[in-house]
Structure 1
């Protein structure tokens, strides 16, 4: 493939501006050829900023273009599957901001459309691309952790509700609060590091305690358009527990707002040979060497690392243009949305939810 990968953008709001746009503009083999957003004023401004590329307010019109190779979806969560399936059916590759979809059925529709079309579907999993995550994955793949049998992960904020009153806090558009917004990131990272075991059961609880608060201390609250007259019908904190088919377990906690000391994201894993803690990007490994307990602090070459979103988009381009093996697959997204949906179901029912049927004991 000699020409640049020609990309159309659907959704030109905060996540596109902050994370996707720099990646596309920084790739020497990719070109943004058209943009789309239901906010006409915003999309026209972005089109002008990008050198006067064509702009649209309806993604269907954008998909009629004959010069597209791929699209990048940065819309509210509800529309991810609709737009992705339509693009895949048009024979386009699809990159999509997380989460994959707002229901397992919609995530499966996306996976099925990708399989039928033979085109690449990849959903943002940028936390797999941090220096600490990549090092830890190599360490695990070399067998140095032994059997990973349990762990915990989360992203907790003191005050960091995004786009309050807008689509982030409106369940019909977002699918939920911090569990679906932040949980995708670090549940995925934990599962990837653990070798993608299959989830078999979950239990969870959700809380909404800060809907009346307008205090913010997190830079992440800038995402989304606020609406003082809007809706807040999602959780602001979720906790849960996941069991896997290999006997491993994972504890989770995700919040936009709670009374804690500081904002923190983390994955902690316990293995039979080593344990690991990846907290706010800082990696520590806990093991034994020469008959003594030993803490390992890998020296990571972070100065040369690209931003994680950029690394993820560059990986997508490499897969499309050069046939690289995708490390993020549609089936990962289907399992993820099954987990999140079941946690919400468990929180509503007060009971554990099984994702697979119990096998009969003979």
Structure 2
């Protein structure tokens, strides 16, 4: 019989409730034994739903418990690194929501703490686990695209600002706007599919044009805790360009609000043997065969939303149990936060930033 891992959860807001809770409750190898949130009413409500009796408002009390094996962190971004480091140093395995941290120094502290402790640190990269991404990864690794020399990726919304006035739009707590909120998803997915090349330089620009606009057309605008008249000191659109050590490049665009036709997320690659387009989860491949251009649309199994978060957590559990090798490693997070913060630096200074 496999070991039952005891889980302590820190942060019980919307992302935990909608994307984490079900997997922890249903997985045969895990049991939630402690829940923590700074809002007592919220943690009590989740505790009742999850049938958990031990609730806290101070994360340090959870980490101090010697009977807890795994910590799941779903707090505002600012606290990801400090809680992760404390949990790792206390001998816990850590699963943390994205982004890894709000600056490169904190991301490196997390990676160093994981190495010292010998415990597993994994940060959510759920988009790697979609059926389309898994198929495209195998297609690329089998050599069907040849050399991927350039690409572009993005997640653009018409009106979808999350938690306006709350921690999402407060740079001290979030680290930034859509670049750090959404960019971490599709820049990571692009780099993973490309074989994790090392970033060497970035150039970027950011814009804040919708701080006083209250319209919304996206379900994502309901995320977070809104505060009327609260802080909005982050961007609502970011564009950029990343250079890698192998000569490949990646264009990026991420927005919470802009005047476009509709919300869309996408990745496009240009390879020497074929190209790829992944838009809203639909994958298409463009190549040539027998003297003709060809378009291929793989017949992938359909997934119920949101499937990838649960698959990511299951992968973490498999890695803790020794049944799998991590495909998401702390050094990926260090590279990611270096990229994001360098794009913010480039936007401020108006020139390319070397990494």
Moved more, 3-12 or 298-307: 298-307
Instruction: Give the ranges of 4+ consecutive aligned residues of structure 1 lying more than 6 Å apart after TM superposition.
Output: none
For 1:159-174, list aligned pairs within 5 A: 159-174=159-174
Give the Cα–Cα distance (whole angstroms) in 2 for the partners of residues 306 and 218 of structure 1: 16
Aligned to 2:127: 127
Aligned to 1:219: 219
TM-score, normalised to structure 1, is: 0.97
SS in 2 for 1:35: strand
Unpaired segments of 5 or more residues in structure 2? none
Aligned to 2:191: 191
Is contact 1:37-1:43 (8 Å) kept?
yes
Superposed CA deviations along residues 131-181 of structure 1, whole A, max 9, x for unmatched, are 100000000000000000000000000000000000000000000000000
SS in 2 for 1:12: coil
SS in 1 for 2:155: strand
Is contact 2:152-2:252 (8 Å) kept?
yes
Give how far 1:306 is off.
7.6
Give how far 1:38 is off.
0.4
> Does the alignment pair 1:34 with 2:34?
yes
Unpaired segments of 5 or more residues in structure 1? 356-362
Give how far 1:304 is off.
7.9
Give the Cα–Cα distance (whole angstroms) in 2 for the partners of residues 311 and 86 of structure 1: 26
Evaluate the alpha carbon distance shift between residue 215 and residue 306 of structure 1 in structure 2; reply closer, same or farther with a 3 A threshold: closer
Is contact 1:101-1:337 (8 Å) kept?
yes
How many residues of Structure 1 are paired with residues of Structure 2 in the alignment?
A: 355
SS in 2 for 1:202: strand
Aligned to 1:89: 89
Superposed CA deviations along residues 44-102 of structure 1, whole A, max 9, x for unmatched, are 12112221420000000111112100100000000000000000000000000000000
Is contact 1:131-1:305 (8 Å) kept?
no
Aligned to 2:239: 239
Aligned to 1:360: none
Give the Cα–Cα distance (whole angstroms) in 2 for the partners of residues 322 and 331 of structure 1: 20
TM-score, normalised to structure 2, is: 0.98
Is contact 2:25-2:50 (8 Å) kept?
no
Evaluate the alpha carbon distance shift between residue 214 and residue 305 of structure 1 in structure 2; reply closer, same or farther with a 3 A threshold: closer
Aligned to 1:270: 270
Aligned to 2:353: 353
Aligned to 2:46: 46
Is contact 1:210-1:236 (8 Å) kept?
yes
Moved more, 64-73 or 249-258: 64-73
Moved more, 308-317 or 22-31: 22-31
Give the Cα–Cα distance (whole angstroms) in 2 for the partners of residues 127 and 67 of structure 1: 32
